[in-house]
């Protein structure tokens, strides 16, 4: 689920990346987390909080692809 890759900029270290299987597992985790959080959050706040979490997830994914 995690692959090691030599760091081209620093030969002393390695980069860790999710494999396709790891990405799929992470996506499943994110969906389940959103489902659980939706049940825990007060209804009047849940839309805003979930929008914020979606925004955060978008930026995390964007950095992962760079």
Q: In which residue ranges of the chain is pLDDT below 50?
A: none
Cα 9–chain centre separation: 24
Per-residue tokens: 22: 């790891």
Whether pTM > 0.85 for this model: the answer is: no
Provide the pLDDT for residue 66: 64
Provide the pLDDT for residue 42: 78
Give the number of domains in the chain: 1
With beta carbons less than 8 A apart as the criterion, state whether 48 and 34 touch: no
Domain that holds residue 49: 2-65
Per-residue tokens: 23: 């990405």
Q: What are the φ/ψ torsions at residue 17 (nearest 5 degrees)?
A: -135, 150
Provide the pLDDT for residue 29: 92
């Amino acid at each position: 689920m995690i692959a090691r890759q030599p760091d081209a900029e620093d030969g002393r270290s390695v980069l860790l990346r999710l494999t396709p299987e790891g990405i799929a597992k992470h996506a499943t985790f994110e969906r389940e987390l959103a489902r659980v959080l939706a049940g825990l959050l007060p209804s009047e706040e849940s839309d805003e909080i979930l929008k914020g979490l979606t925004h955060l997830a978008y930026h995390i994914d964007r950095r992962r692809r760079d």
